[in-house]
Structure 1
């Protein structure tokens, strides 16, 4: 097989002599061989392509170009470490370590079986070479996923029309109410709500989006385990409905367990698949905060919903707000983060007008000096207001035109308001 990989926009494409099926099968195999965010494996794929990278990873071939590929692919991730002359040596050592790490899984590779499994559940494997691959994932660079195992019929959403809603698993009634309202309001506006399918805020965000009557893709659940496994089990009905009307997505193949480190790595996908991330409730130590940090690192908008200063569930949100996150309280303010420039802007809330709105300081002093019931003469008003009689007369004239004062037999007083 020709090892020269014809690139298309950042290392994507099909090499001479390969087919899309070859590339898809290779990426399926590599997603089981590599753990998410395996920098060495991703570097091989980026530079040499998935088919050749798989041959190297399983020990079929060891071309001299492999260490160079690792060095080139990880250059950005390891910039500033050591001298350029030692980069190749470090890459060779990294590759040997990786080969040892991957070796125990080689015998268990069965990509055709994995593809059959996801198809049996009504899903498919989406790879970067496919047209529906979300452009936002490329912002992850060396941390980008090799592929996405997708359960559901809808195409993957446009990152520009997607928003993540995340938060605590042990959410309060307040947090659940806000998350549901935000999600439904955004889905009504044609925005896809992305979250992690967990208990608490995540689940409520999915439910709120599914409650919308919008025809567009309402919600996407990004899983830490295989897309064939409904986890947590208490959300089986919810996740089944998401798979029916939305999408269940994972970067690990069918049957994979949702381990703790995969949950943490999964958060970067939630951030990258969305143009903004909203944290509804989060404690000081919360996975939702890691999603917000990844979103900020990717240049995405980060917003948080304020809560009670006495609530531990809102402590993380308040920390985000203190560090520059946007404060949001309803779906209109959230939508403003996604809408094109000049669209979807929210007007500042206006309360009922007060009698003194728009008055100058002189007129305000005259108004405050006016009695409510019995009238007062100009001389008395001048004493109370601390103004000259001429200033009081002029002010009374302006206030009378505004309907704020009236003349009686006893003098001037405030006008009676309807």
Structure 2
């Protein structure tokens, strides 16, 4: 059931009230004592937690960031108080995957870049890193623009130092989570030498695997950071897949997170909600999609990962479209990756789920496209042979079963019916598909 017009109107009024209250509190900061400023910033941070992307962009403009810098320079707002606000702004921006470029265009961004370099020189004498770490976190969260190599070489080691803390108390866990979240959003466009990060990242992951000291979000973000480096360094795959066991760990996390979510309740109506768990699941699915698209190693752990994807696929279908689409995309990537064993996809029940989806009359074009790409790769993948005779016997039986299933479900007719409707489905594709099925 969609939101009623009254519900939409009420949400719109709440949003307008929230942004107006935020702006009022911000304007009052200049005339407050430090203790009052701290209280007002706490209230503002609570409002940020509730903002959607539209509200966020309407509040955090270039003018607001420029005003913050002006207040710092005029000493009506201390840098310490400003970072309390800015850290939370950036944290929520990254956690909710908002894209907002106003910070990058502001004078505050330019001044923060300069301040980070200045503080880095200063700590060589004073040995106090606290302010530098705070500035690095703020900048990594808020920035969407290019980072110079000089700045990059300062920010990454400082954030890794925080992320490597091993205390399991709640305060330290939060610090580690925030540092890893900032690190994980550093663009894949930046090529990073392994010496700058790999030893520390491996230690963080391996220590968690043994001691379970990270929050679920922190553990996901450390993998996101490592997978982002894989984008420019495919030699990392051995570390990711065989040493750190990404597929095994992702499967376990998806299963545990999925079991903690009430999938039957519509996302927009979940008041008590486990929004954070759903957000972490989506983030895992994004990283899994990258992995299934690029992985080449076969270590026997992918079947378990696909089974977990199928579990989320089924659970999220009705009420969580964003998670559902991500599952569709991850499994499509796997079906097209020649290094992924087709047996792993078949045994996990993936093909049956896609067949069920294709028969739905309300599919979006994007989902139809993913389903078609998946199925148009299956016949070719079924023609692959194994080296061992016993395995080939099993494969032939599996081929026969899947072919019968596809014929039973009328998949050939479904593809044919979409000719002329989906641009990439050509008449030759239908003929080739039919011939391939007959010659498996």
TM-score band w.r.t. shorter chain: under 0.3
TM-score of the two chains, using structure 1 as the length reference: 0.27
Structure with greater Cα Rg? 1
**Greater per-residue helix proportion:** 2
Instruction: Report which structure shows greater RCO (CA 8 Å, sep ≥6).
Output: 1
Greater strand content: 1
